[in-house]
Amino acid sequence: MTAFTLGPALLFCPADRPDRYAKAAAVADGVVLDLEDAVRPEAKPAARDAVVAADLDPARTVVRVNPAGTPDLDKDLRALASSPFRTLMLAKTASAADVRALDGYDVVALVETAAGVLHAAEIAAETSVVALLWGADDLVASLGGTSSRHPDGTYRDVARHARSVVLVAAGAHGKAVVDAVHMDIEDHAGLSAEAADAAAVGCVATACIHPGQVDVVRAAYRPTDGQVAWAQALLAQAERERGVFRFEGRMVDGPVLRQAADVLRRATR
């Protein structure tokens, strides 16, 4: 698995709001300074200057840059060359070639278009890619649609398909996956359910757009006391067994042991 360890709650912060940088970094497990959608075109030059001047831990900071092939990405990279930040999130990553434009950086590939989903495995295979984040709303917009979710808040099938494609592509190449943002800021129950599901299928983090979402995500990723006790007891018995064995009425083999180890790993984050 990749060495990408930020999470479980990554918080986006508009790059043109340097007054919020420190608070975002203090609240979340990692901060994403956003030079793309969160910043109006006329504010981007000042936002780049603010990012370069930011006094943040580079190990806990990701900078979202503009899409490949745009003049704004060229300007982003020229500015960031003099900064200490070396992990970039590439908006609207559509191909492996897009990633190569960020040579010398660790890349979180934001897969949020039809082309990106189609080429997810090729993107994940790039050595500079440390994680993939999928996005639903830009994806649906790229298809000409108007909504990624049903009226009850659940994802439509095309969004669920994209998430699964990104998960499998990343897993095949040992890369981490960050789950998409939950746009309804007040819907903590929906966010909690999505984050718990993300943890269950192997995501390392969920992206947040508001500080109030951070603790919800952390709680959802944190195993319960019962899960921790189960994992500890199972692994303790495994040390006394040879090969496949039975534990609490369930057959235990390699995949179950890895699941138990992951429960303990998440419990100590």
In the chain, where are the structural domains located? 7-219, 223-266
Task: Please state the residue numbers annotated as binding site for Mg(2+).
Answer: 112, 138
CATH hierarchy code of domain 7-219: 3.20.20.60
Share of the chain above pLDDT 90, in %: 81
CA atoms within a 13 Å half-sphere pointing along the CA-CB vector of 146: 1
Q: How far is CA 77 from the centre of its chain?
A: 22
Would you list which residues are annotated within the binding site for substrate?
64, 112
Q: Which helix (H) or strand (E) holds 140?
A: helix 137-142
pLDDT in tens, 74-88: 999 999 999 999 999
Three-state secondary-structure class, residue 63? strand
Q: Which residue, chain included where needed, has tokens 């278009």?
A: 113
Contact predicate 10/132, CB 8 Å: no
- Average pLDDT, rounded, for the chain: 94
CA–CA distance from 5 to each of 130, 155, 203 (Å)?
10, 27, 11
pTM here?
Answer: 0.88
- Measured between alpha carbons, how far is 111 from 121 in angstroms, rounded to an integer? 11
Mean pLDDT computed over 197-203: 94
How many CA atoms within 13 Å lie on the side-chain side of 106?
A: 19
**Is residue 184 scored above 70 in pLDDT?**
yes
Element (H, E) at 45: helix 44-53
Mean pLDDT for the stretch of residues 215-233? 88
- Distance from C-alpha of 85 to C-alpha of 140, rounded to nearest angstrom: 31
Annotated binding site: 64, 112, 138
Residue 20: half-sphere exposure toward Cβ, Cα within 13 Å: 17
